[in-house]
Copies of this chain bind each other. A is one copy, B any other.
Amino acid sequence: MTIDRDGLRAPYQQLADILRERIASGDIPVGRRIPSHHELEAEFDISRNTIKKALDVLKGEGLLETAPGRGLFVKATPPAEG
Contact = CB atoms under 8 A, between A and B. Distances in A.
Interface of A: 6-10, 31-33, 65, 67-71, 73
Contacts of A10: 67-70
How many protomers of this protein does the assembly include?
2
A7 B68 CA distance: 11
A56 B82 CA distance: 43
13 contacts: A6-B31, A6-B33, A6-B71, A6-B73, A7-B67, A8-B65, A8-B67, A8-B70, A8-B73, A9-B67, A10-B67, A10-B68, A10-B70
Nearest to A5: B70
Contacts of A67: 7-10
